[in-house]
Amino acid sequence: QKEVEQDPGPLSVPEGAIVSLNCTYSNSAFQYFMWYRQYSRKGPELLMYTYSSGNKEDGRFTAQVDKSSKYISLFIRDSQPSDSATYLCAMTSLKTSYDKVIFGPGTSLSVIP
Amino acid sequence: EAGVAQSPRYKIIEKRQSVAFWCNPISGHATLYWYQQILGQGPKLLIQFQNNGVVDDSQLPKDRFSAERLKGVDSTLKIQPAKLEDSAVYLCASSPAGRGVSGELFFGEGSRLTVL
């Protein structure tokens, strides 16, 4: 079993749709969770981060963490063509500030105008 | 603020040849990372430096890959000899000492390697 799993897609939605992206993980030591967005031929950029369980909202984006189920989600409301990218979940244990960040394989999203 | 700079952006070589990638992190960032991203996969950490010391190189194939960070600033990743399975994007990232409050890694645009 891989440490972090993510549906690779591709996911194609119409503009304005609500998008749900998900990751599961196996390491119960993970407690710091991030979502990165990667445009084609670019490096990943941090979108949101959350610590432990709960929700966090930032504009059209909401991140959820359920540590009991080892499941994290990113919701995008009112999706826009500019949201078309690959979304990578990432996580780390934070036992030390140098702990390895583990990335999921990414979900490719296309928002059709 | 200038971002993470990487070069070359693209490189095509034949198997068994050698290649080197260069990275200049964000000014003042003590931690530098090299990731390998194979098509359709997430980035995989190859090596992590804190200043000019290695923090983690457990997934670096040391028989063919080497990396250095002289003077705690720029870094070079070398592959010699290259194999077909080394075809990937090599991403350099940097962060303040540790990863700061947000845990953010700042990535460059990557160096895309094709091995024929």
DSSP string covering B44-59: EEEEEEETTEEEE-TT
Residue by residue, DSSP assigns A13-42 as EETT--EEEEEEE--TT--EEEEEEE-TTS
Side-by-side strand order, sheet with B75-79:
B5-7, B19-24, B75-79, B65-68
Higher pLDDT, A48 or B52: A48
Q: From CA A21, how far away is CA A56, in angstroms rounded? A: 15
Q: Which among B41, B42, B110 has the least Cβ separation from residue A43?
A: B110
The mean per-residue pLDDT over the stretch A45-69 comes to 92
- Residue A99 has what pLDDT? 75
* Contact flag A41-B109 (C-beta cutoff 8 Å): yes
Tokens 């600033």 correspond to what residue?
B73
Q: Which of residues 45-64 of A touch B (CB under 8 A)?
A: 45-46, 49
Domain range annotation of chain B: 5-115
User: Is the model's pLDDT at A8 over the cut of 80?
Assistant: no
- Residue A9 has what pLDDT? 82
- Residue B102 has what pLDDT? 59
* Contact flag B103-A41 (C-beta cutoff 8 Å): no
Q: pLDDT above 70 covers what percent of chain B?
A: 93
* Contact flag A49-B44 (C-beta cutoff 8 Å): no
Q: From CA B83, how far away is CA B116, in angstroms rounded? A: 8
Q: pLDDT above 70 covers what percent of chain A?
A: 95
Q: Give the tens place of pLDDT for each residue, B9-58.
A: 999 999 999 999 999 999 989 889 999 999 989 999 999 998 889 989 99
Q: Which of A5, A31, A46 to mutate to test the interface with B (most CBs of B within 10 A)?
A: A46
- Residue A7 has what pLDDT? 84
Nearest to A103 by CA among A92, A89, A113: A89
Q: What letters, b where the CB count within 10 A reaches 16 and e where it falls short, cover A52-84? A: eeeeeeeeebbbbbeeeebebbbbbeebeeebb
Homologous superfamily in CATH for domain B5-115: Immunoglobulins (2.60.40.10)
Residue A102 is part of a domain; what is its CATH number?
2.60.40.10
The mean per-residue pLDDT over the stretch A82-106 comes to 87
How many Å is the Cα radius of gyration of chain A?
14
User: For residue A100, what is the DSSP state?
Assistant: P
Pairing of strands A45-51, A32-38: antiparallel
- Residue A97 has what pLDDT? 60
Amino acid at A30: F
CA triplet A8, A12, A14: central angle to 5 degrees?
150
* Contact flag B40-A88 (C-beta cutoff 8 Å): no
For residue A49, list chain B residues with Cβ-Cβ distance below 8 A.
102-104
Q: Which among A32, A49, A98 has the least Cβ separation from residue B48?
A: A98
Pairing of strands A107-112, B5-7: unpaired
Q: Which of B10, B23, B34, B37 to mutate to test the interface with A (most CBs of A within 10 A)?
A: B37
Give residue A61's domain range.
4-112
Q: Domain count of chain A? A: 1
Q: From CA A75, how far away is CA A21, in angstroms rounded? A: 6
How far lies B32's CA from each of A4, A9, A15, A76, A79, in Å?
A: 23, 31, 38, 31, 34
User: Is the model's pLDDT at B100 over the cut of 60?
Assistant: no
User: Is the model's pLDDT at A96 over the cut of 90?
Assistant: no
Q: Which among A8, A101, A105 has the least Cβ separation from residue B105?
A: A101
Q: Give the tens place of pLDDT for each residue, A97-109.
A: 667 889 999 999 9
Q: What letters, b where the CB count within 10 A reaches 16 and e where it falls short, cover A21-40? A: bbbbbeeeebbbbbbbbbee
For residue A96, list chain B residues with Cβ-Cβ distance below 8 A.
98
* Contact flag A103-B108 (C-beta cutoff 8 Å): no
